[in-house]
Each structure stands twice: as structure tokens, then as C-alpha cells.
């Protein structure tokens, strides 16, 4: 399985943008890039995913490098509630057109948000 590399921790100020990087130099052409986050004492929650093009949703934006060897999760205005561990995960494309199988979690990036 292709692996991801993320910084152990990052800090941000409230109401400022946050850019969380992820390196995945061994990504295959059929791997989706997924991001999950885990708030303290909770199970992980889905944030966003993409394949080649940049993606936006109500929670965040995902910027994917042209060679797909890296990506960046962007929180446009960090709030205290965004303090969590953020996981960048690669999932293979399934025959049915979606992602498949279990998620392989690394250690993620622990984001701290200062008021």
C-alpha cells in the first residue's frame, strides 16, 4: 500500500487559514486521496477526498499537486473546534467506481488552534 507522510503537529491562530500538507510520492494512478479528522475523544470523521482535481466542500478544500505526489488540506478559517488530528489516507479505486476497503491510518497531524 502506498504510504503518506505528514508533519506530526501544526499550530494555527483562530480565524486564520490552515494548510495541512501530505506527501504521497508512491501514489498509484488509481488511488484516491482521503482526509479524515479525529476530534479529542471521538471517532474519526470524513473531511474530503479527491483524485486529480482540486475539491471544495463545506468543511475544507483539497489541493492536489499536478503530479499527485502531494496534497494540501486547506481550512479557510480555523476555529477552536477544528483542533484535531488530521489523517491523509490513500484508498484504491474499486471496480464499482468508488473507493474500497479499510482505511489505513498513519499518525496524522495534530492541529492546535490558538484563540
Residues that bind other proteins (CB under 8 A): 32, 34, 42-46, 49, 87, 94, 96-108
- Residue 21 CB, shortest distance to other proteins, in Å, is 17
With CA atoms as reference, report the closest residue to 23 among 71, 62, 67, 74.
71
Residue closer to other proteins, measured from CB, 48 or 113: 48
CB atoms within 10 A of CB 25: 12
Residue closer to other proteins, measured from CB, 13 or 30: 30
Can you read off the three cell numbers belonging to residue 9? 503537529
- Residue 30 CB, shortest distance to other proteins, in Å, is 13
Amino acid at each position: 500500500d502506498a504510504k503518506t507522510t505528514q508533519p506530526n503537529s501544526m499550530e494555527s491562530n483562530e480565524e486564520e487559514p490552515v494548510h495541512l500538507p501530505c506527501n504521497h510520492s508512491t501514489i498509484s494512478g488509481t488511488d484516491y486521496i482521503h482526509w479524515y479528522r479525529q476530534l479529542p475523544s471521538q471517532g474519526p470523521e470524513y473531511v474530503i477526498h479527491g483524485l486529480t482535481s482540486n475539491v471544495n466542500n463545506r468543511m475544507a478544500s483539497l489541493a492536489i499537486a499536478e503530479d499527485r505526489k502531494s496534497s494540501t488540506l486547506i481550512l479557510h478559517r480555523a476555529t477552536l473546534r477544528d483542533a484535531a488530528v488530521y489523517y491523509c489516507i490513500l484508498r484504491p479505486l474499486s471496480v464499482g467506481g468508488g473507493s474500497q476497503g479499510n482505511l489505513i491510518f498513519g499518525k496524522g497531524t495534530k492541529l492546535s488552534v490558538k484563540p
